[in-house]
Copies of this chain bind each other. A is one copy, B any other.
C-alpha cells in the first residue's frame, strides 16, 4: 500500500483520521497474520504504509494497540452474524448455518484472521479478558443453538460444548492453511464444512 491511499480526498478531518487509523490496523493485521505478531515491528507496519514510525504514533499508541484495534473491528463484523443467527423465526439448522457461514466469511478477513491466529498472551490482561468475553459469547450462541436443536429433536443428542469446539476449531484453522496465492473461496469452504457437520462422512444406511 503506497501513500496514494493514505489520504481520502474530500473527507472531513475526523473521517480522514479514522480512515488512516483503519489503514494502520489493516496493515498491522496483514503483517501479523503473514509473519506473526511478535515477529512484526511498528517500523515494518509504517514501512508497509509508506509513512514514518512517528506518524503512526498519531493514530495508535503501540503495537498492542493495533492488535486490540484489529480485534475490536473484527468483533464488530462478527456482531452482525450473531444478530442474524438470533432470529427466532428461522429453523435452528438454518441459524447454525448462518453462524457458520458468517464466521467463515469473518475469519477469512484480515481482522478475523488476526483473532484466530494471534495468541491472547500478546494482549494485556485487561484486554485479554474483554476479548475472551466476546469469544465466549459466540461460543455460547452456537452451543445454545445446538441444545435447542437437540431439545426439539432436529439434531442428534451430542455434547454441545464439544461439537462447538469442533466447529470453531475447524473455522479458526482456515487462515492457517488458506492464506495462499490461490485460496479456496470461503463460500466453498463454508458449504463443505456445513455438509460435514450436518451430514457426516458416512452415507445414511438405506
With A165-B170, A170-B169, A202-B93 as known contacts, state yes or no: A192 contacts B159, CB within 8 Å: yes
Q: Does A117 contact B (CB under 8 A)?
A: yes
Q: Does A58 contact B (CB under 8 A)?
A: no
- Chain A positions within 8 Å of B, measured between CB atoms, are 35-36, 38-39, 93, 96, 117, 119, 121-122, 146, 149, 153-156, 158-159, 161-163, 165-174, 176-177, 184, 188-189, 192-193, 195-205
- Secondary structure of the A contact surface, majority rule: helix
Chain B residue nearest in CB terms to A206: B204
Other-chain contact of A199, B38, B154, B156, B168 (Cβ < 8 Å): B156
Chain B residues positioned under 8 Å from A96 (CB to CB): 201
Report whether B201 and A121 are in contact in the complex, using a CB–CB cutoff of 8 Å. no
Other-chain contact of A117, B119, B154, B165 (Cβ < 8 Å): B119
Report whether A201 and B146 are in contact in the complex, using a CB–CB cutoff of 8 Å. yes
